[in-house]
Amino acid sequence: MNGTARRVLAAAIALPAATVVSHAPAASAATVLAVEGTLQPTRTTQTAFNGAFCAQNTCRSINNARTPFDVRPGSLQLQAALDSTPGDVILMGFSLGAASIYDRLREWEDEPDLAPDPQRLRLIVTFGNPENKYGGDDRGNPYAGLPEVQPYPHLDVTMQYDSVADRATRWGWYSAVNSAFARHFDYFKPSDINDPDNLVYRDDGGTTYMLIEADVLPMLKWMAGFVPAERMAELDAKYRPLVERDYDRPEYVEQGAGADWGNGNLPPALAGGDDPAGQDEQRLDDSGSETTTLGVESQPSDHQVLTRRTDSDADDDEAVDEIDDVEASDHVTEWDVARLRAGATTDDDSDDAGHDDGGEAVSENKSSDSADGAGAGAGQDDADAEDARKRDTGPAAP
C-alpha cells in the first residue's frame, strides 16, 4: 500500500471518531423551557444573558396568554410542557414567568406526584422575579415565596435596582428617586451571567441569589451624554451609599471563576459548598468593595443621616456634605435611632432638648428657693427663741 493510500485509509478511520467528538456536547444537552413575561413575544426569555442558556441546549418558549397578574396559567402550561418533554430540562422564567415557576414549585410541594425527578431537572433559573425574597415587589404577599423544602438547584438573578425585583426595603428620598428611573428589561442587554464579579449568596434552602451590579445609578444615567465619565463616577460614588441605606441585602460575595450556568454548572466554589472564591464575607456598597451592610443591620453614625434620607430637600449638595461630615460621629444611641425611625425630626430633637434644659433650670431654681426658705426659717426660729428667754428671765443686766 503506497503512502497516499495509507493516508486516505487513516483519514477514513479518523472521520467517525472526529464526528463523535464534535457532537459530544449534544449528549449532555438539555431542553430549556422558557416561560415568558407579561406580553412578551415568543422566544424572548431565552435571549437573556446573551442567550447563554440556549447556546448548547434546545429552547422552547412557553408564551401563555394570561392577565398581567395571573401566574396560574403559566404554571399549568409549564407542567404540561414538562410532562411532554423527554430527557433533562432547565426551567427558565422572567418576571411573571418567574412567578409562574414559583407557583409550580409550591404545587409540587403539595402534590409530590407531579414533581419531576431531581436528577432530570438540571436547573431552575428565575430572573426579574417579583417574588424574590430580597427585593421582589410581591415578596410581602402571603402566597409568595419558595417552599421550605425543594430539591432542585435554583438560581434567582436580579439586576441591581430592577424596578420589579430589587425594590428598597424602606422608603427613603434617594431610593425613591432612583426607583423612579429604574428599568426592568436590562437582562436582555449584553450581560455575562458567568462573570466572576457577579455577586452571589446561597441560603439554607439551596437557592443561589445573584446580583449583577449596576454600572451607574439609574437616576444618573440620563446625564451620561452631558458629563464626563470621571464626573459621572464621582456622582455615583457620592449618591449610591445614600440609596443603599434603604436596602437590606444578604451577605453577597463574588461567585469567582469557572461558572457555566447556561449548562447548569455552578461555579466550583458553590458546587463544592465552600465560600465562593474563599473570600471573606463582603457586602454591597457604592464601589463593590468590602464593607458592612448598608441597611438596618448597621446603624448610621448619627441621627442626622436618618432624617436626611427622608427629607425632601436632601438633594442639595450642602446637605450631602453635612451628612458626610457627621458620619464619623459615634454619639447616636439606639433610642435615638428608634425615635427617629418613628418619625421624629431633627427640629423635634432640638425642641425636646430645649424642654429638657428648661426643666433642669426650673429644678435648679426650685432648689435655690428651697435653700433660701430654709435659711430664712432658721433665722426666724432663733429670734423667737430669744424673745421667749427675755420673757422668762427679764431684761438683761446693763
Question: Is 254 in contact with 277 (CB distance < 8 Å)?
Answer: yes
Choice between 143 and 3, residue whose per-residue pLDDT is larger = 143
pLDDT of residue 97: 95
**Mean pLDDT highest for which of 7-21, 236-250, 306-320?**
236-250
For residue 229, give every residue at least 6 positions away whose Cβ sits within 8 Å of its Cβ, in sequence order, or none.
Answer: none
Can you tell me the mean pLDDT for 29-57? 94
Within 10 Å of residue 122's Cβ, how many Cβ atoms?
A: 21
Confidence of residue 354 (pLDDT cuts 50, 70, 90): very low
The C-alpha cell of 251 is what?
451577605
Domain ranges, ordered by start, for the chain:
31-169+182-214+250-267
Indicate the range of 218-227, 285-294, 300-309 predicted with least confidence.
300-309
Q: How far is C-alpha 336 from the chain's CA centre?
A: 25
* Residue 285 reports pLDDT greater than 80: no
pLDDT of residue 17: 40
d(CA 330, CA 344): 20
Can you tell me the mean pLDDT for 377-382? 49
For residue 120, give every residue at least 6 positions away whose Cβ sits within 8 Å of its Cβ, in sequence order, or none.
Answer: 87, 88, 89
Q: What share of the chain is helix, strand, coil (3-state, %, to 5)?
A: 45, 10, 45
* Residue 374 reports pLDDT greater than 50: no
Tell me what percent of the residues of the chain surpass a pLDDT of 70: 60
Question: Is 155 in contact with 90 (CB distance < 8 Å)?
Answer: no
* Residue 143 reports pLDDT greater than 60: yes
* Residue 146 reports pLDDT greater than 70: yes
Choice between 206 and 125, residue whose per-residue pLDDT is larger = 125
Q: Mean pLDDT over all residues of the chain?
A: 74
Element (H, E) at 80: helix 72-83
pLDDT of residue 149: 80
pLDDT of residue 296: 34
The C-alpha cell of 313 is what?
430637600
SS3 339: helix
DSSP code for 291 = -
d(CA 50, CA 195): 12
Question: Is 31 in contact with 88 (CB distance < 8 Å)?
Answer: yes
pLDDT of residue 316: 44
pLDDT of residue 369: 46
* Residue 197 reports pLDDT greater than 80: yes
φ/ψ of residue 12, rounded to 5: -65, -40
* Residue 60 reports pLDDT greater than 50: yes
Choice between 221 and 394, residue whose per-residue pLDDT is larger = 221
Summarised one tens digit per residue, pLDDT across range 317-341 is 444 444 444 344 444 444 343 444 4
Summarised one tens digit per residue, pLDDT across range 163-189 is 999 999 999 999 999 999 999 999 999
Indicate the range of 140-144, 224-228, 257-261 predicted with least confidence.
140-144
* Residue 241 reports pLDDT greater than 60: yes
Question: Is 116 in contact with 89 (CB distance < 8 Å)?
Answer: yes
Can you tell me the mean pLDDT for 57-72? 83
* Residue 298 reports pLDDT greater than 70: no
Paired with 58 in beta bridges are 31
Choice between 148 and 102, residue whose per-residue pLDDT is larger = 102
The C-alpha cell of 69 is what?
397578574
The C-alpha cell of 322 is what?
453635612
Can you tell me the mean pLDDT for 367-379? 45
pLDDT of residue 352: 45
Element (H, E) at 220: helix 218-221
User: Of 291, 284, 287, 125, whose CA–CA distance to 211 is shortest?
Assistant: 284
Summarised one tens digit per residue, pLDDT across range 205-234 is 889 999 999 999 999 999 998 999 999 999
207-212 β-sheet, strand order: 58-62, 31-35, 89-94, 121-127, 154-159, 207-212, 199-202, 253-254
**Mean pLDDT highest for which of 58-67, 116-125, 138-147, 335-344?**
116-125
Can you tell me the mean pLDDT for 44-63? 95
d(CA 361, CA 187): 63
Q: Write the burial class of residue 308 (CB in 10 Å: 0-12 exposed, 13-18 middle, 19+ buried).
A: buried
Dmax over CA atoms of the chain, in Å, equals 166
| Angle formed at CA 297 by CA 293 and CA 302, multiple of 5 degrees | 90
Domain 31-169+182-214+250-267 has CATH 3.40.50: yes
* Residue 38 reports pLDDT greater than 70: yes
d(CA 21, CA 58): 19
Question: Is 166 in contact with 160 (CB distance < 8 Å)?
Answer: yes
Can you tell me the mean pLDDT for 114-122? 96
